[in-house]
Amino acid sequence: MVQADSKSKWLLTFLLFACIVARVQPQDSGANPLDRTGEVMVDGQATPYIVRHLPVNAFPQLPLGVQNELLGRGCLIPQTYEAHWPENVVHASLERPGSSDWAVLCSVDGRVSLLVFFADRAEPMVLVTASETDRLQAHSSSHVLGFNWGLDPASPEDVHEAQLGMSNPPPRLDHDALADSVIDRKTTYRFYTKGAWTVVDTDD
């Protein structure tokens, strides 16, 4: 009887210890340390979110000067919730026909900037900046909000089609533009001409 009581106490102690250990273990040991997680209020309820990031070296195609500038700024590259491969780094002829330019979404401490690097300029242009939490969106595959800002190259034909409904559209472009998108909602075309950036909003 004494042995049975001792055995019961030992088993109870072991189970209690196991519960404590389980409680202090990380919930997702495979989580990417570059990801940003938290909660925002949606319709009066705290809703979790995750913004996934990739380091600059995940984009080896970037010129060394662009990589160094991004690293110096402390940039991470945010990924949309539907990303299946590295994204939000664009190579296109954004300044003029045949130019080799880059556009990058750079995230630093929860704020994202759209940077454009022209081949003949040392410093990037900052076209727009927003908080990551301002670019969150619900999606059907998860109860967790995800990042909804996507960047892609746009051809002159893409921009021309977006301008068809305008009463006085500008001349057709002779070089590329940026498709700045809110996933599944709308696309803004940004193109550079005559020394300035022009914005064309359109609903998908």
CB count, 10 Å around CB of 172? 10
Question: What per-residue confidence (pLDDT) applies to 141?
Answer: 65
- 186 Rama sector, left if φ>0, alpha if ψ -120 to 50, beta otherwise: beta
Task: Per residue of the chain (204 residues), give pLDDT as tens.
Answer: 334 444 444 444 434 333 333 332 333 434 688 999 999 988 888 899 999 999 999 999 999 999 999 999 999 999 999 999 999 999 999 999 999 999 999 999 999 999 999 998 989 999 999 999 999 999 876 789 999 999 999 999 999 988 887 777 778 899 999 999 999 889 999 999 999 999 988 764
> Looking at the 3D structure of the chain, how many domains does it have?
1
3-state DSSP of the chain: CHHHHHHHHHHHHHHHHHHHHHHHCCCCCCCCCCCEEEEEEECCEEEEEEEEEECHHHCCCCCHHHHHHHHHHCCEEEECCCCCCCCCEEEECCCCCCCCEEEEEEEECCEEEEEEECCCCCCCEEEEEEEHHHHEEEECCEEEEEECEEEEEECHHHHHHHCCCCCCCCCCCCCCEEEEEECCCEEEEEEEECCEEEEEEEEC
Q: Is residue 187 part of a domain?
A: yes
Question: What per-residue confidence (pLDDT) applies to 128?
Answer: 96
For the record, the structure tokens of 41 come out as: 């209020």
Q: Which domain holds residue 113?
A: 36-203
